[in-house]
A and B are shown apart, each in its own frame.
Chain A
Amino acid sequence: MQGKCLCGLIEFEIVGVVPKLYQCHCSLCRKQGGASSNAAAIIGKAHFRWVSGQEHISSWIKDTGFRSDFCSNCGSPVPNPLRSTPYYWVPAGLLEGDVQLAVRAHLFVGSKASWDVITSPGKQYETMPDLSELLRPDGDA
Protein backbone atom coordinates (compact mmCIF):
# COMPACT_ATOMS: atom_id res chain seq x y z
CA MET A 1 0.00 0.00 0.00
CA GLN A 2 1.40 3.36 -1.12
CA GLY A 3 1.31 6.74 0.54
CA LYS A 4 2.49 10.24 -0.37
CA CYS A 5 2.29 13.83 0.77
CA LEU A 6 0.18 16.43 -1.04
CA CYS A 7 3.01 17.60 -3.35
CA GLY A 8 4.25 14.05 -3.93
CA LEU A 9 7.89 14.65 -2.98
CA ILE A 10 7.67 12.28 -0.03
CA GLU A 11 6.52 8.73 -0.77
CA PHE A 12 6.45 5.58 1.32
CA GLU A 13 4.91 2.15 1.33
CA ILE A 14 3.47 -0.34 3.75
CA VAL A 15 4.00 -3.99 2.92
CA GLY A 16 2.67 -7.20 4.41
CA VAL A 17 0.11 -5.74 6.82
CA VAL A 18 -3.28 -4.05 6.56
CA PRO A 19 -3.03 -0.88 8.66
CA LYS A 20 -5.40 -0.58 11.60
CA LEU A 21 -6.28 3.03 12.25
CA TYR A 22 -6.75 5.07 15.36
CA GLN A 23 -7.80 8.69 15.77
CA CYS A 24 -6.42 10.98 18.45
CA HIS A 25 -8.71 13.89 19.35
CA CYS A 26 -6.26 15.81 21.56
CA SER A 27 -5.56 19.51 21.00
CA LEU A 28 -2.01 18.91 19.72
CA CYS A 29 -3.17 16.47 17.04
CA ARG A 30 -5.95 18.91 16.09
CA LYS A 31 -3.44 21.70 15.62
CA GLN A 32 -1.05 19.55 13.64
CA GLY A 33 -3.47 18.88 10.79
CA GLY A 34 -6.01 21.64 11.42
CA ALA A 35 -8.64 18.91 11.72
CA SER A 36 -10.88 17.40 14.42
CA SER A 37 -8.39 14.64 15.13
CA ASN A 38 -5.55 12.88 13.44
CA ALA A 39 -6.01 9.47 11.80
CA ALA A 40 -3.03 7.19 11.82
CA ALA A 41 -1.65 3.68 11.95
CA ILE A 42 1.20 2.23 14.00
CA ILE A 43 3.25 0.08 11.65
CA GLY A 44 6.14 -2.22 12.57
CA LYS A 45 9.43 -1.06 11.07
CA ALA A 46 9.74 -4.29 9.05
CA HIS A 47 6.53 -3.39 7.20
CA PHE A 48 7.39 0.24 6.46
CA ARG A 49 9.65 1.53 3.70
CA TRP A 50 10.53 5.03 2.46
CA VAL A 51 10.30 5.34 -1.32
CA SER A 52 11.47 8.91 -1.85
CA GLY A 53 11.87 12.38 -0.44
CA GLN A 54 13.12 11.78 3.12
CA GLU A 55 15.46 14.77 2.71
CA HIS A 56 12.39 17.06 2.50
CA ILE A 57 11.15 16.18 6.00
CA SER A 58 11.16 18.87 8.67
CA SER A 59 10.70 17.94 12.28
CA TRP A 60 9.35 19.83 15.29
CA ILE A 61 9.50 18.24 18.74
CA LYS A 62 7.73 19.66 21.76
CA ASP A 63 9.42 19.41 25.16
CA THR A 64 6.84 16.78 26.18
CA GLY A 65 7.99 14.53 23.32
CA PHE A 66 5.09 15.27 20.95
CA ARG A 67 6.56 15.18 17.47
CA SER A 68 5.37 16.72 14.20
CA ASP A 69 7.21 15.61 11.05
CA PHE A 70 6.03 17.28 7.87
CA CYS A 71 6.94 17.92 4.24
CA SER A 72 8.88 21.16 4.10
CA ASN A 73 7.42 21.89 0.66
CA CYS A 74 3.67 21.22 1.09
CA GLY A 75 3.25 20.90 4.87
CA SER A 76 1.58 17.46 4.90
CA PRO A 77 2.25 15.50 8.09
CA VAL A 78 4.46 12.52 7.18
CA PRO A 79 5.42 9.25 8.92
CA ASN A 80 7.94 9.31 11.74
CA PRO A 81 9.56 6.72 14.00
CA LEU A 82 7.47 6.35 17.16
CA ARG A 83 9.78 7.53 19.95
CA SER A 84 12.02 4.63 21.01
CA THR A 85 9.74 1.86 19.75
CA PRO A 86 10.26 -0.40 16.72
CA TYR A 87 7.26 1.24 15.03
CA TYR A 88 6.42 4.04 12.63
CA TRP A 89 3.54 6.46 13.06
CA VAL A 90 1.81 6.77 9.67
CA PRO A 91 -0.88 9.39 8.90
CA ALA A 92 -3.84 7.67 7.21
CA GLY A 93 -4.87 10.62 5.02
CA LEU A 94 -1.73 10.06 2.93
CA LEU A 95 -2.58 6.46 2.03
CA GLU A 96 -3.62 5.76 -1.56
CA GLY A 97 -6.14 3.33 -2.96
CA ASP A 98 -9.42 1.84 -1.89
CA VAL A 99 -8.32 -0.69 0.69
CA GLN A 100 -11.02 -1.05 3.31
CA LEU A 101 -9.39 0.25 6.46
CA ALA A 102 -11.18 0.77 9.74
CA VAL A 103 -10.73 2.96 12.78
CA ARG A 104 -10.19 0.68 15.79
CA ALA A 105 -9.65 3.19 18.57
CA HIS A 106 -10.31 6.79 19.54
CA LEU A 107 -7.84 8.46 21.92
CA PHE A 108 -8.29 11.50 24.14
CA VAL A 109 -12.04 11.64 23.57
CA GLY A 110 -12.11 13.50 26.90
CA SER A 111 -10.59 16.53 25.19
CA LYS A 112 -12.27 16.37 21.79
CA ALA A 113 -13.78 19.45 20.16
CA SER A 114 -17.45 20.05 20.96
CA TRP A 115 -18.44 19.77 17.28
CA ASP A 116 -16.49 16.53 16.79
CA VAL A 117 -19.14 13.80 16.64
CA ILE A 118 -17.59 10.34 16.81
CA THR A 119 -19.79 7.97 14.81
CA SER A 120 -17.21 5.44 13.68
CA PRO A 121 -16.81 2.16 15.54
CA GLY A 122 -13.76 1.57 17.71
CA LYS A 123 -13.06 1.67 21.38
CA GLN A 124 -13.05 5.11 22.98
CA TYR A 125 -10.39 6.06 25.52
CA GLU A 126 -10.59 9.14 27.74
CA THR A 127 -6.85 9.62 27.36
CA MET A 128 -4.31 7.22 25.91
CA PRO A 129 -4.06 3.45 26.38
CA ASP A 130 -0.77 1.57 26.54
CA LEU A 131 0.87 1.07 23.18
CA SER A 132 0.48 -2.69 23.70
CA GLU A 133 -3.29 -2.33 23.96
CA LEU A 134 -3.38 -0.19 20.82
CA LEU A 135 -1.37 -2.82 18.96
CA ARG A 136 -3.39 -5.85 20.10
CA PRO A 137 -4.41 -7.94 17.06
CA ASP A 138 -8.08 -7.54 17.94
CA GLY A 139 -7.87 -4.27 19.75
CA ASP A 140 -11.34 -3.17 18.68
CA ALA A 141 -14.29 -3.36 21.00
Chain B
Amino acid sequence: MNAKYSGQCLCGEISYSVDIEPVFTGNCHCKDCQRSSGSAFIPAMIFPEKDVVISGEVKYFESRADSGNMHKRGFCPNCGSQLFARFSNMPGILGIKAGTLNDSSNYVPKLDFHVDSAAPWDFMNPELPKKQEAAQS
Protein backbone atom coordinates (compact mmCIF):
# COMPACT_ATOMS: atom_id res chain seq x y z
CA MET B 1 0.00 0.00 0.00
CA ASN B 2 2.67 2.50 -0.99
CA ALA B 3 0.91 5.41 -2.66
CA LYS B 4 2.87 7.49 -5.16
CA TYR B 5 2.34 10.65 -3.13
CA SER B 6 1.67 10.88 0.59
CA GLY B 7 2.02 13.57 3.19
CA GLN B 8 0.79 14.93 6.47
CA CYS B 9 0.59 18.02 8.64
CA LEU B 10 3.06 18.88 11.43
CA CYS B 11 1.00 17.23 14.18
CA GLY B 12 -0.11 14.23 12.11
CA GLU B 13 -3.88 14.68 12.52
CA ILE B 14 -4.31 15.18 8.80
CA SER B 15 -2.76 12.91 6.21
CA TYR B 16 -3.33 12.21 2.53
CA SER B 17 -2.31 9.87 -0.23
CA VAL B 18 -2.66 9.84 -4.01
CA ASP B 19 -1.75 7.03 -6.34
CA ILE B 20 -1.74 8.83 -9.70
CA GLU B 21 0.46 11.51 -11.25
CA PRO B 22 -0.58 15.16 -10.85
CA VAL B 23 -2.22 16.90 -13.81
CA PHE B 24 -0.13 20.01 -13.10
CA THR B 25 2.73 21.10 -10.86
CA GLY B 26 4.01 24.64 -10.35
CA ASN B 27 5.04 27.37 -7.95
CA CYS B 28 2.57 30.19 -7.25
CA HIS B 29 4.18 33.48 -6.19
CA CYS B 30 0.96 35.52 -5.69
CA LYS B 31 0.59 37.69 -2.57
CA ASP B 32 -2.16 35.49 -1.11
CA CYS B 33 0.12 32.45 -1.35
CA GLN B 34 2.84 34.48 0.40
CA ARG B 35 0.39 35.37 3.17
CA SER B 36 -0.90 31.86 3.63
CA SER B 37 2.54 30.21 3.58
CA GLY B 38 4.36 33.05 5.33
CA SER B 39 7.04 32.47 2.71
CA ALA B 40 7.88 33.31 -0.91
CA PHE B 41 5.65 30.96 -2.90
CA ILE B 42 3.53 27.82 -2.77
CA PRO B 43 4.65 24.70 -4.62
CA ALA B 44 1.37 23.21 -5.84
CA MET B 45 0.43 19.78 -7.17
CA ILE B 46 -2.95 19.55 -8.85
CA PHE B 47 -4.97 16.32 -8.78
CA PRO B 48 -8.54 15.23 -9.54
CA GLU B 49 -10.16 15.46 -6.12
CA LYS B 50 -11.66 11.96 -6.37
CA ASP B 51 -8.17 10.42 -6.48
CA VAL B 52 -6.96 11.99 -3.22
CA VAL B 53 -7.64 10.12 0.02
CA ILE B 54 -7.66 12.48 3.00
CA SER B 55 -7.95 11.52 6.65
CA GLY B 56 -8.54 14.06 9.38
CA GLU B 57 -10.67 17.19 9.72
CA VAL B 58 -9.41 19.95 7.41
CA LYS B 59 -10.47 23.56 7.99
CA TYR B 60 -11.01 25.66 4.86
CA PHE B 61 -10.73 29.42 4.56
CA GLU B 62 -12.26 31.05 1.49
CA SER B 63 -11.03 34.26 -0.11
CA ARG B 64 -11.42 36.01 -3.47
CA ALA B 65 -8.33 35.83 -5.68
CA ASP B 66 -7.29 38.80 -7.85
CA SER B 67 -8.86 36.92 -10.77
CA GLY B 68 -12.26 37.13 -9.07
CA ASN B 69 -12.37 33.36 -8.54
CA MET B 70 -12.97 31.99 -5.07
CA HIS B 71 -10.05 30.13 -3.54
CA LYS B 72 -10.38 27.82 -0.55
CA ARG B 73 -7.26 27.02 1.42
CA GLY B 74 -7.24 24.00 3.71
CA PHE B 75 -5.16 23.83 6.89
CA CYS B 76 -4.93 21.75 10.05
CA PRO B 77 -6.84 23.56 12.82
CA ASN B 78 -4.56 21.93 15.41
CA CYS B 79 -1.05 22.71 14.09
CA GLY B 80 -1.65 25.25 11.31
CA SER B 81 0.01 23.29 8.47
CA GLN B 82 -1.17 24.46 5.05
CA LEU B 83 -2.11 21.42 2.99
CA PHE B 84 -4.82 21.87 0.35
CA ALA B 85 -6.49 24.26 -2.09
CA ARG B 86 -9.77 24.28 -4.02
CA PHE B 87 -10.71 26.70 -6.80
CA SER B 88 -14.21 27.85 -7.86
CA ASN B 89 -13.17 27.89 -11.53
CA MET B 90 -11.84 24.31 -11.36
CA PRO B 91 -14.49 22.12 -9.73
CA GLY B 92 -13.41 18.58 -8.90
CA ILE B 93 -9.77 19.64 -8.61
CA LEU B 94 -7.68 19.59 -5.44
CA GLY B 95 -4.36 21.34 -4.95
CA ILE B 96 -1.80 19.82 -2.57
CA LYS B 97 1.05 21.93 -1.17
CA ALA B 98 4.26 20.06 -1.86
CA GLY B 99 5.95 21.21 1.35
CA THR B 100 3.74 18.71 3.20
CA LEU B 101 4.94 15.66 1.23
CA ASN B 102 6.56 12.89 3.25
CA ASP B 103 9.13 12.41 0.48
CA SER B 104 9.99 15.90 -0.70
CA SER B 105 11.78 14.64 -3.81
CA ASN B 106 8.41 13.59 -5.27
CA TYR B 107 7.61 17.11 -6.41
CA VAL B 108 8.87 18.32 -9.80
CA PRO B 109 7.71 21.88 -10.62
CA LYS B 110 7.05 22.71 -14.29
CA LEU B 111 6.44 26.44 -14.01
CA ASP B 112 6.71 29.58 -11.87
CA PHE B 113 3.49 31.61 -12.09
CA HIS B 114 2.12 34.93 -10.83
CA VAL B 115 5.76 35.99 -10.91
CA ASP B 116 4.76 39.66 -11.30
CA SER B 117 3.51 39.54 -7.69
CA ALA B 118 6.67 37.90 -6.33
CA ALA B 119 8.42 39.52 -3.37
CA PRO B 120 11.65 41.43 -4.18
CA TRP B 121 13.57 38.89 -2.05
CA ASP B 122 12.09 35.89 -3.89
CA PHE B 123 14.77 34.38 -6.14
CA MET B 124 13.56 31.65 -8.48
CA ASN B 125 15.08 28.72 -10.28
CA PRO B 126 16.14 30.34 -13.60
CA GLU B 127 15.62 27.06 -15.43
CA LEU B 128 11.85 26.98 -14.92
CA PRO B 129 9.51 28.75 -17.39
CA LYS B 130 7.99 31.95 -15.94
CA LYS B 131 4.45 33.22 -16.27
CA GLN B 132 3.31 36.70 -15.19
CA GLU B 133 -0.27 35.66 -14.52
CA ALA B 134 -2.22 32.57 -13.51
CA ALA B 135 -0.95 29.18 -14.60
CA GLN B 136 -3.96 28.20 -16.69
CA SER B 137 -4.81 31.47 -18.47
Contacts and interface: CB of A to CB of B under 8 A. Distances in A.
A23 B108 CA distance: 21
A74 B32 CA distance: 11
Contact of B35 (A5, A23, A113): A5
B100 A39 contact: no
Q: How large is the interface on B (under 10, 10 to 19, 20 to 34, 35 or more residues)?
A: 35 or more
Contacts of B108: 115
Contacts of B53: none
Given A34-B83, A35-B43, A37-B39, A114 B105 contact: yes
A37 B85 CA distance: 19
Interface string A58-71: 10101000101110
Interface of B: 8-11, 32-43, 59, 61, 63, 73, 75, 77-83, 97-100, 104-105, 107-109, 119-127
Contacts, number: 166
B58 to A, nearest CB: 10
A39 B40 contact: yes
Nearest to A78: B38
Nearest to A59: B80
Contacts of A31: 8-10, 81, 99-100
Interface of A: 4-7, 21, 23, 27-28, 30-40, 58, 60, 62, 66, 68-70, 72-77, 91-94, 98, 100-103, 113-121
* Residue among A27, A98, A115, A119 having the largest count of chain B Cβ atoms under 10 Å: A115
Contacts of A91: 38-39
A93 B79 contact: no
A103 B124 CA distance: 13
Contact of B100 (A30, A62, A93, A120): A30
Nearest to A116: B104
Contacts of A77: 37-38, 80
Given A31-B9, A115-B107, A117-B125, 11 more contacts: A27-B104, A31-B8, A32-B82, A34-B100, A35-B42, A40-B38, A101-B121, A113-B104, A115-B104, A117-B127, A120-B123
Given A6-B35, A7-B63, A115-B105, A70 B73 contact: no
A32 B10 contact: yes
B124 A32 contact: no
A36 B43 contact: yes
A60 B41 contact: no
Given A4-B35, A36-B99, A102-B121, A68 B105 contact: no
Contacts of B32: 6
A120 B119 CA distance: 12
A68 B9 CA distance: 11
